[in-house]
Amino acid sequence: MDSKNAKGRLVVLAVVLCAIVFAWFSVRWQLGNMLAALTPPNQPNAAELGRLARNLAPSDALPMWLLATQEKENFSPESVENSVGMFEDVVRLGPNDFRYWIELGRAYEQAEQPEKAERALARAVELAPNYTFPHWQFGNFYLRQNRSDEAFAELRKTTERSIVYREQVFSLAWDYFDKDPQKVEALAVDTPDVKSTLALFYAARGSADNALRIWNTLTEDQKPNYLDTAKRIARGLFEKQRYRESLEFARQTGIDRDAQFESVTNGGFETFVGAPDDTLFGWRVFRTDPKIDVLPDSNVKSEGSRSLRIAFKGYTKVDLHNVVQSVAVQPGARYRLTFMVRTDNLRSGGPPVLQIISGIENKGIASSDPFEAGSADWKQMTVDFTAPSDFDGVLIRTGRVACGEDCPISGTIWYDDFRLTKL
């Protein structure tokens, strides 16, 4: 009986010892892995911590990766050579982690062993064919080896799944191929998501015609899914003063649905005039000065159901640019702008005028006669002008005749029935 009890106790003791040993090695591995994971390779004592982590977890690839990376960053020929052997140990310990094969490939390349680098990077792609990062690294390797066809074949695979790498690939190709859109578009997978990104890419680089061309390859069913992107393009092109293409994006996205090329939008003020930031090619009314009131008026109008009333209450500033509209036009073309104006008790040494401004230089190119002082019924006014030869937009805005500082203006004017005609 005692013999059986003794054997039982020995079995229990053996199990407990095995558990303790297992727990010890498990804890050691976890501590080593955690230490390696939490230590940046550029930390001053990274090498010491890496060796400690390696001692705690000798069969774990991460501590060896830390040591190899720290060694490579010493930037000496000897360190580069040493890091290659260390990274080879890393992939031996972690053969199925594509990240380690990428690091090995980069180490081989740094050590001027491109054939081995290619094989290592190819293995990374083989392990993670659906991840973008291996393809990005492999493509850049080929590019550095002056193997552009193979490079962009790999890089094209990154454009489908990742918007971050997609934009980088487009930018890389744009510079590498000297802004050749055909080469860039060869890297764009034929999906609406990629096309919308490419249109935005072109717009950001001022290639407005290409942005619009790519956008219009989307179907009418696809475009509503990318309205936010298209609105960004519209506003971006407007800021770059590419009015004609910006106008088309503004029309399609609903920012300015009724705006037309070579036309004043809402010329009779029949539709709502909102905040300046809500429009690109409609009326922008800046209500920032308490001495000017700008409001629609349904009681006084030349035609239709309303006009725009501007009431001055002793306004004295030299500039008067509170009612503005941008119009897309053909460069170098001749135009005639007509509009109706009415005044009531208008008094000033510097009366209002309507100005045509070159958008690219913010320089006046034409102006109406000064509006009639006192009170006068509706009168049609005409401004003939030639659009800038190198720019596709003009600004229509209210200005005033220069009369120096502290030159007050009082009274009221009404606008109605703006029309632009090409001569």
Provide mean pLDDT across the span 322-333.
95
Higher pLDDT, 129 or 56: 129
* 380, 302 contact by CB (below 8 A): no
Provide mean pLDDT across the span 155-180.
90
* Cα torsion 236, 237, 238, 240: sign: positive
Q: Is the pLDDT score of 67 beyond 60? A: yes
Q: What band does 169 get if pLDDT is binned at 50, 70 and 90? A: very high
* Cα torsion 102, 108, 112, 118: sign: negative
**Residue 367's beta-bridge partner residues?**
355
Tokens representing residue 44 in the block? 């001053």
As a whole number of angstroms, the distance between CA 31 and CA 295 comes to 72
As a whole number of angstroms, the distance between CA 265 and CA 361 comes to 23
Within 13 A of 47's CA, how many CA atoms are on the CB side? 9
> For position 21, what pLDDT does the model report?
43
Tokens representing residue 349 in the block? 């040494």
Question: What is the per-residue pLDDT across 328-375, written as a single tens digit (0 to 9) for each?
Answer: 999 999 999 999 999 999 999 889 999 999 877 788 999 999 999 999
Per-domain residue ranges of the chain: 22-129, 283-422
User: What mean pLDDT, rounded, does the chain reach?
Assistant: 87
Question: What is the per-residue pLDDT across 181-231, written as a single tens digit (0 to 9) for each?
Answer: 999 999 888 899 999 999 999 999 999 999 999 999 999 999 999 999 999
* 308, 324 contact by CB (below 8 A): no
Q: Top-level CATH class of 22-129?
A: mainly alpha
Q: Find the helix or strand (DSSP H, E) in which 34 lies.
A: helix 2-38
Task: Tell me the DSSP string of 93-129.
Answer: HSTT-HHHHHHHHHHHHHTT-HHHHHHHHHHHHHH-T
Higher pLDDT, 28 or 116: 116
Architecture of domain 283-422: Sandwich (2.60)
For residue 177, give Cα distances in angstroms to 161, 172, 184, 363: 23, 8, 8, 37
